[in-house]
Amino acid sequence: MRIGFLFIAFVCFHASAQDIESFLAKIKITESVPSDLLSVKSAVLYAPTFQKKELETLQKFFQQTGIDAVEYYESDLILAGKDVNVAFANAFLLREIKYFIFFDKNSGSYTVTVTAFNGKPTFIDAGQTGWRVKNENLVSLGNYIYGTALSSQKRGNFLVTDFVEEGDIPVVIKGRRSEFFAIDLEVDKLAVPKFGNETMDAELEAYFKANFPFQFQLVDTNADEKELRKQGILYTLCFVHARGKAAKQILGYDMSKSGTTLASVTYPTAQSQLKTIPSETPVYKFYFRHIDSGNVYLGTKWDADIRWQDALNNHVRGLKAELKIN
């Protein structure tokens, strides 16, 4: 499935995707261009606010320089959480990606940061080096990259396209996709991974104790699912955090009738209500995943919401309504 220029975040109950600035703060910036940048493949991870014309301008400079940027993704996507991290890491390895090129724009200045892919779902290691270029003018930035990179090393990439190649989103749902609830939760225990934040974890636990009618167990954020299975836990709680339109696409919903807004079934009171949310607004959409098979259970209605607390409540209330539980 190809999704162009959309912010998509697929999270298996993990804290909200960290912002790119915090992610890049792990890098130690140097003035040295990576020694083999012009001989290997790179992936461009760009801010969602960029226009396609800006990406095309950058790519033309890469083509002239010999930087083989073989795929472009919105940067927030790869930071979304455990499942998507693993899927992307595997995809980058298969594509033989050696470097990430982070492209951002803040306060009118363009920034390009180049750093190595560590080959793991964490993508980079704390303290690893990176080369950064910043300029208020995109053409000036491109010219600087061209001159500096070519003066530091021989070009090895000679067949670089001048077109922006939108990357394919890797498959993150490994099992069967179902638009109904996991009714086996009546007898099978559910894992509820923590956020890793004391306040949020307390709120999460309090909600489940007060509202979830079946067996559950709070587990560590990075709990090994094989070990959970040994403990008799068969399901885990997951969610997608994304712009609404993108979230529906990544979860396989029919997009033929989608427009600028999306209607969600919500529970602000005891009765369900429809809530209209702009399709470009980031939302949370919860579902349950069977640990052994990877099958996902999305529920019978689109019940995404802007706050995770509301989205979780929508899904749990929908499950209870389906099973006729007060």
pLDDT: is 9 or 100 the higher one? 100
Cα separation of the two ends of the chain: 39
pLDDT: is 39 or 75 the higher one? 39
- pLDDT tens-digit series, residues 77-115: 777 667 778 888 999 999 999 999 999 998 889 999 999
- pLDDT tens-digit series, residues 214-235: 999 999 988 999 999 999 999 9
The predicted pLDDT at position 80 comes to 65
Q: Is the pLDDT of residue 13 over 50?
A: no
Q: Is the pLDDT of residue 11 over 50?
A: no
**How confident is residue 3, by pLDDT bands cut at 50, 70 and 90?**
very low
Query: 10 Å Cβ neighbour count for 270?
Result: 7
Q: Which amino acid is at 292?
A: D
- pLDDT tens-digit series, residues 152-164: 999 999 999 999 9
Distance CA 266, CA 284 (A): 12
The predicted pLDDT at position 257 comes to 75
DSSP per-residue codes, 29-43: EESPPPTTTTTSEEE
Question: What's the chain's average pLDDT?
Answer: 89
Distance CA 313, CA 244 (A): 17
Distance CA 198, CA 139 (A): 46
**How confident is residue 19, by pLDDT bands cut at 50, 70 and 90?**
low
Alpha helix (H) ranges present in the chain? 20-24, 52-65, 75-78, 82-94, 138-152, 198-211, 225-230, 244-250, 308-322
**How confident is residue 200, by pLDDT bands cut at 50, 70 and 90?**
very high
Q: Which amino acid is at 96?
A: E
**How confident is residue 316, by pLDDT bands cut at 50, 70 and 90?**
very high
Percent pLDDT > 90 in the chain is 72
The predicted pLDDT at position 95 comes to 96
Distance CA 187, CA 205 (A): 20
Report helix, strand or coil for 100. strand
Residues in the chain: 326
Cα–Cα distances in angstroms (integers) from residue 126 to residues 11, 19, 24, 96, 280, in the given order? 22, 16, 9, 22, 32
The predicted pLDDT at position 270 comes to 85
φ, ψ (nearest 5 deg) of residue 301: -135, 155
Distance CA 224, CA 288 (A): 17
The 28-30 sheet, strands edge to edge: 28-30, 129-135, 109-116, 97-106, 41-46, 68-74
10-152 CATH, one of 2.60.40, 3.10.450, 3.30.310, 3.40.50:
3.40.50
Distance CA 205, CA 128 (A): 37
Report helix, strand or coil for 92. helix
Mean pLDDT of 114-131: 95
The predicted pLDDT at position 245 comes to 80
Residue indicated by tokens 């109904």: 180
Q: Is the dihedral of CA 248, 103, 168, 92 positive or negative?
A: negative
pLDDT: is 168 or 61 the higher one? 61
The predicted pLDDT at position 199 comes to 95
Q: Is the pLDDT of residue 12 over 60?
A: no
Q: What is the number of alpha carbons within 13 Å of residue 303 lying toward its C-beta? A: 28
Q: Is the pLDDT of residue 176 over 80?
A: yes
The predicted pLDDT at position 81 comes to 64
Name beta bridge partners: 157.
none
172 contacts: CB under 8 Å, gap ≥ 6: 10, 83, 84, 87, 250
Residue spans of the domains in the chain: they are: 10-152, 177-322
pLDDT: is 98 or 169 the higher one? 98
pLDDT: is 18 or 3 the higher one? 18
**How confident is residue 5, by pLDDT bands cut at 50, 70 and 90?**
very low
53 contacts: CB under 8 Å, gap ≥ 6: none
Picking from 108-122, 246-260, 312-326, which range would have the lowest pLDDT averaged per residue? 246-260
State the pTM of this model. Answer: 0.78
